[in-house]
């Protein structure tokens, strides 16, 4: 087992030895510049906001699509699992998003959601607890 760990460590060292530090510094600088432009440009509740009871801000779809176009990326969505039971009122989806550039896969992510999650279920509230408009 220790031979495997030593081999992996040697591969990491070898990979680092072959990297140009100046290129890494340049890439990190470009990433920081891009992030700065994005942070200065996006507007809360227009481009990003809290959705579905999440406490952290989420990038909203229209601006996410603009960023994809800006970077020359395309997105594809595949249903990995889909449950739609209208009689029982149960709906569940697992979807994979694949990002590509010039037809080559760059990355992918998986998201899931179902109607039994608290944020999608009916809740009872007392009339006094509701905000009056």
Q: For position 133, what pLDDT does the model report? A: 54
DSSP 120: G
Q: What is the DSSP string of 84-97?
A: EETTTTEEEEEEEE
Q: What is the DSSP string of 11-45?
A: HHHHHHHTS-HHHHHHHHHHHHHHHHHHHHH--BT
| Domain locations along the chain | 73-124
Buried (b) or exposed (e) across 20-37, using 16+ Cβ within 10 A?
A: eeeeeeeeeeeeeeeeee
Would you write out the chain's pLDDT as a tens digit for each of its 133 residues? 555 555 555 666 677 777 888 999 999 999 999 999 988 988 888 898 887 777 888 888 888 888 899 899 999 999 999 999 999 889 999 999 999 999 999 999 999 999 887 766 666 667 776 666 5
């Amino acid at each position: 087992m220790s031979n495997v760990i030593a081999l992996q460590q040697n591969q990491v060292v070898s990979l680092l030895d072959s990297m140009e530090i100046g290129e890494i510094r340049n890439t990190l600088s470009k990433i920081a510049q891009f992030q700065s432009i994005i942070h200065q440009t996006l507007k809360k509740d227009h481009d990003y906001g809290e959705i579905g009871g999440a406490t952290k801000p989420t990038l909203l779809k229209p601006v996410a699509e603009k960023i994809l176009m800006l970077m020359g990326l395309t997105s594809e969505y595949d249903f990995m699992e889909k449950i739609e039971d209208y009689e029982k009122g149960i709906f569940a989806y697992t979807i994979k998003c694949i990002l590509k550039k010039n037809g080559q896969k760059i990355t992918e992510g998986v998201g899931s959601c179902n109607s039994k999650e608290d944020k999608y279920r009916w809740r009872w509230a007392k009339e006094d607890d509701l905000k009056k408009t």
